[in-house]
Structure 1
Amino acid sequence: MPPPSRLGPPIPRKPMNQALERIDTLIEARWVVPVEPADTTLENHALAIRDGAIVALLPISDARLRFSPAETVVLEDHVLIPGLINLHTHTAMTLLRGHADDLPLMRWLTEAIWPAEREHVSEEFVYHGTLLGAAEMLRGGVTFANDMYFFPDAAARAYEEMGMRAMIGLVVLDFPGNYAANADDYLHKGLAVRDKWLGHSRLDFSLAPHAPYTVSDSAFERVGALAEELDASVHIHVQETRNEVEDSLKQYGLRPLQRLQKLGLLGPNLLIAHGVHVDDKDIELLALNQVGVAHNPVSNMKLASGIAPVTAMLSAGINVGLGTDGAASNNRLDVLQEMRFASLLAKIQADDAAALRVHKVLQMATLLAAKALGLQERIGSLTPGKRADICSISLNANEIAPVFDPVSHIVFAAGREHVSHVWVDGKGVLANGELLLQRNEDLPAISRLWQNSLQNKRS
């Protein structure tokens, strides 16, 4: 008789005349929260993985009877969840972490960030910044980033090397920068990068006009036409501040969302970042057009932009996910932290302790984010047939014990320091808190290089 397992009954014996089904990996865990079905927590279950996809989610005892894995990972005090999705970020801006604190959005942009970008942003800056940001996200259980920044080919190379999944936004602006001269130039260069990486299993591309206050009507119309032609997602900052709405009313006689509707941009392929200052009519417009929203609670707080009416948007049926924004306006690329603040802010705003319960906020960080991007058939839940993007969180540390509800701990108690293992496309990229990547050894030197460069320019 084999020794008993802490994760279940003794390993059963397979009848001699039945062949075991070969798989690549079997992950056995104390708890599994698949997200689909909703509000479900499974105990002593296993995930079977083959060719980068989830084959089955079933009790450990049944898995041991059915499968012959090349590798078995036993996680005795851990909870498995889908890989977290960072629905709005500027990953390369990791190199500007702490560069401009304690400023409201427009001063932060015009006095600190845009001047720093003119001085420093290059293909090498984006490549190195994305390497560092991807490493930070993977350590925090984030397997997918919806990114928006310059030099998209450099970002693509970095995500590829780090083994991460990403949708890379092809930025569009009306004014010149280090990357392109005008809106047409941004689009021309961006689409060439999209063509270069077309068909990559982990990389997708979106069109990313920066914001209504930096993009003209004619550029928006071209983006809309291209999005329809290419069946591409569109990623844009909208109604982040009160001033943005007021300025749009003065210039166009329309709120930013109304202007986008007039230009034909509102639809299921559109994702708006922030959406802090939306009223009831805006929410109705978003819901009617099935527009997704990336909620960025920490960045919104740090820039004093306001608190987005998340519960009202969710009640209207809008797919609201969670984003970190860039490390320059957040200082962390930490979706677990966003989950905690999203729930707490929603309770304060609604004056209701039951607002945004833990299972719903976990949905926001996974399945609802995937739905907002139209990727729910591939990622967002631990469902057989989907890609094996998985995060394991250890719940055995003294500071988060005892465990009455693992989902409550994910949202309110655990931090990214408790993330133990991460898989992307079924491949292990983090084990026992350590990145399993060759580039991992180079990251501290890259960080020091850019810190020295930025400090010398500032002084």
Structure 2
Amino acid sequence: MASLLIKNARNIITMDKEKNQYPGGSIYIEGQEIIAIGKDIPYEAADTVIDAHGKIVYPGLINTHHHLYQTFTRNIPWAQDCELFDWLLALYDIWRYLRPEDVYLSAMVGLGELLKSGCTTAADHFYVFPNGVSGELIDEEIRAASDLGIRFFPTRGSMSLGRSQGGLPPDEVVQTEDTILKDTMRVIEKYHDDSKFSMVRVGVAPCSPFSVSKDLLTQSAVLARSYGVRMHTHLAETHDEDQFCKERLGLRPLELMEETGWVGNDVWYAHGIYFNKEEIIKIGSCGCGVAHCPSSNMKLASGTFPIMDMLKAGVKVGLGVDGSASNDASSMLLELKVMNLLHKLQHGSTALSAEDCLHIATRGSSKVLGWEDGIGSLEVGKAADLFMVDSTRLEFAGALYNDTTLPILTGTSQVDTTIVGGKVVVKDGHLVGINERELAAKAQKASLRMVETASKYRKVNYRKLRERQQVIPY
């Protein structure tokens, strides 16, 4: 079992229950586990020793909602300046051309960005399975996570309600409910590991009320609980969703969840903007969690998450960057800054501090994922998931007065070191063992192929778009 000693840190920000800090402290790790942490620990040697002089150590950030496959549709001109339903309709035409290699490469890019922003655990919601393409696409994301060394929580998403049945997505990207349930069982049985230091946990995740049937929601809940895995879906994200549920089902979104078994402490929703106060109290009392995705909600003009009401009601709240195409980045540190600023604007300057935001992105997110025994803080017995920033960097000059809030308030988007389970996966700001320029070139080539294929059916001048590409040879 390999050992690692991080010593002489400028500070260690633990985010444990007492919010302990250890200026000049050290951390000793064996395998994935933190064995000792503090100012004077009885360990002076290890297989690997990192002198962290000048570095500030933080618990790894936990992303509770993402769509990694969307990495290849960022900054698409005709998908800007529109709200969720129109945005989806524009991008479904590109996503239908996903191939297995696209899913792998997009996950490599998205997860790589997350690691470089201090994220050590990422949940992903994959739900687009184009007709005629391998159904084992989520496997490609899991392969990418393994290659990068990030702790991963993929959720097997699904869409069964195509346009011909009154849903939003085109029929070309939906599956039959029998196919969905069978493959969900396959993914759980093949990959799910609920151990404390697992590198892969699997969830069940029908996409949304406007893309799946009530029957699929019900069957998915039964299936998930038969395997003891967690459940995830989009909910209460927009007024359009609320109107869809009322007109088609005669229910509010949360009422739909209650009728289909989608409430409980094993459930977390993405977004949760349009719950009323009574529903927020109900969600808190039954133990549901919510992934807060501030940048995406702002970009798509969806609304503002009622975070203070949620926290007051005891709702488990975590942070998510959401799909790369509705954020155009996969940076958890950037998301932390956006969250902090957004809620100062919404609730007042003293409502939610930068330290509160860090708590939500670490301990809060770990509770949302049901993983608080292993991740979310730096303390003995937990996983050695952490990131470090070098306080001597130029962008921190004049800002070294509060180590806890430093990377949030200064808006840095990149860390110096990321460690997952005791293994260094980002060193000096770069992914370990990955040729980033080669990966970027392959990814851009794959993205352009998808966009150009879609262009055959759209009235868009892609020739000029191609002329702007600066693809790096590889």
User: Structures share a fold, TM > 0.5?
Assistant: yes
Which of 104, 107, 110 is the matching residue for 2:86? 107
Deviation of 1:194 after TM superposition, in Å, equals 2.5
Q: Does 1:30 align with 2:10?
A: yes
Contact 1:143–1:389 under 8 Å retained in 2: yes
Alignment partner of 1:191: what SS?
helix
Q: Secondary structure at the match of 1:262?
A: helix
CA–CA distance in 2 between the matches of 1:57 and 1:449?
45
Structure 2 counterpart of 1:11? none
Partner Cα separation in structure 2 for residue 67 and residue 319 of structure 1: 39
Does structure 2 retain, via aligned residues, the 8 Å contact 1:35–1:367?
yes
Give the superposition deviation at 1:51: 1.1
**1:18 — aligned with what?**
none
Q: Which digits, 9 at most, give the CA deviation of each residue in 1:20-70, with x for residues without a partner?
A: xx97111121111111024433211111110111111111xx23x434212
Amino acid in the other structure paired with 1:213 = F
Structure 1 contact 268–292 (Cα < 8 Å) conserved = yes
Q: Which has the higher strand share?
A: 1
User: Match for residue 190 of structure 1?
Assistant: 184
Determine the C-alpha separation between the residues in 2 that align with 1:179 and 1:48. 48
1:415 and 2:415 are equivalent in the alignment? no
Aligned match for 1:206, one of 203, 207, 213: 203
- 1:178 is displaced (CA, Å) by 6.1
In structure 2, what is the Cα distance between the partners aligned to 1:288 and 1:408?
Answer: 31
Q: Is 1:218 matched with 2:215? A: yes
TM-score by length of 1: 0.90
**Cα distance in 1 for residues equivalent to 2:182 and 2:279:** 32
1:143 deviates by: 1.1
SS of equivalent residue, structure 1 residue 384:
coil
2:226 to 229, 232, 236: 229
Tell me the residue number matched to 1:66: 43
Q: Give the letter for the 2:103 counterpart.
A: V
What's the CA shift for 1:318? 1.2
**In structure 2, what is the equivalent of residue 10 of structure 1?**
none
Contact persistence 2:221–2:261 (CA under 8 A): yes
- AA at the equivalent of 1:249: K
Residue type matched to 1:126 in 2? V
Structure 1 residue aligned with 2:142, among 116, 135, 156?
Answer: 156
1:117 to 87, 95, 116: 95
Question: 2-side partners of 1:145 and 1:305: how far apart?
Answer: 23
1:47 equivalenced with 2:36 (yes/no): no
Indicate yes or no: 2:308 matched with 1:311: yes
Counterpart of 1:436 (choices 432, 440, 448) is 432
SS of equivalent residue, structure 2 residue 14: coil
Separation in structure 1 between the aligned mates of residue 255 and residue 235 of structure 2, nearest angstrom: 11
Query: Residues 39 and 359 of structure 1 are in contact (CA less than 8 Å); yes or no, is this contact kept in structure 2?
Result: no
2:280 equivalent to 1:283: yes
Matched, 1:131 2:113: no
Distance of aligned partners of 1:180 and 1:211 in 2 relative to their CA distance in 1, 3 Å threshold: closer
Q: CA deviation at 1:421?
A: 0.4
In structure 2, how many angstroms separate the alpha carbons of the residues matched to 1:398 and 1:441? 25
> Which amino acid counterpart does residue 98 of structure 2 have in structure 1?
V
Q: Deviations over 1:424-450 (max 9, x none)?
A: 111100111121124546312312321
C-alpha distance in 2 between matches for 1:451 and 1:137: 19
Structure 1 segment 236-255 matched on structure 2, within 5 A: 236-255=233-252
Deviation at 1:395, TM superposition (A): 2.2
Distance in 1, Cα, partners of 2:122 & 2:36: 26
Aligned position for 1:56: 36
Name the CA distance, whole Å, in 1 between partners of 2:413 and 2:30.
27
Name the CA distance, whole Å, in 2 between partners of 1:298 and 1:374: 24
Distance between the aligned counterparts of 1:439 and 1:232, measured in 2? Answer: 35
Asked whether 1:256 is paired with 2:240, we answer no
> Do the aligned partners of 2:12 and 2:58 also contact (CA within 8 Å) in 1?
yes
Shift of 1:197: 2.1
SS for the counterpart of 1:271 is: strand
Give 3-state SS (helix, strand or coil) of 1:57's partner.
strand
3-state SS of the aligned residue for 1:190?
A: helix
Structure 2 vs 1, CA of residues 198 and 279 (structure 1 numbering), >3 Å: closer, same or farther?
Answer: closer
Cα contact 1:343–1:355 (8 A) shared by 2: no
Q: Per-residue deviation at 1:97?
A: 1.2
Are the equivalent residues in 2 in contact too, given 1:170–1:191 (CA < 8 A)?
A: no
Provide the aligned C-alpha RMSD in A. 1.8
Would you say 1:271 and 2:268 are equivalent positions? Answer: yes
Q: How far off its partner does 1:91 sit?
A: 1.1
How far the C-alpha of 1:455 sits from its partner, in A, is: 4.4
Q: Contact between 2:161 and 2:210, CA under 8 Å: does it hold in 1?
A: no
- 1:155 partner letter: E
Match of 1:396 among 378, 392, 395: 392
Query: Would the aligned equivalents of 1:84 and 1:365 in 2 still touch at CA under 8 Å?
Result: yes
Distance apart, 1:82 and its partner CA: 1.0
Aligned residue type for 2:31: D
C-alpha distance in structure 2 between counterparts of 1:68 and 1:23, whole Å: 12
Measured in 1, the distance between the counterparts of 2:368 and 2:282 equals 15
For the residue of structure 2 that corresponds to 1:337, the secondary structure is helix
SS at match of 2:224: helix
Q: Which amino acid aligns with 1:158?
A: A
- Does the CA-based 8 Å contact 2:159-2:173 persist in structure 1? no
In 2, Cα distance between equivalents of 1:451 and 1:152: 18
**1:445 paired residue number:** 441
Q: From the superposition, tell whether residues 309 and 127 of structure 1 become closer, same or farther in structure 2 (CA, over 3 Å).
A: same
CA distance in 2, matches of 1:407, 1:136: 22
8 Å contact from structure 1 (residues 206, 232) kept in 2: yes
Where 1:108 maps in the other structure, the secondary structure is helix
Contact 1:124 1:154 in 2 (8 A): yes
CA–CA distance in 1 between the matches of 2:427 and 2:5? 15
Long gaps (5+) in structure 1 = 1-21
Q: Percent of aligned pairs with the same residue?
A: 29
Name the residue aligned to 2:372.
376
How far residue 180 of structure 1 moved from its aligned partner, in angstroms, is: 5.9
Distance in 2 between residues matched to 1:270 and 1:218, nearest whole Å: 18
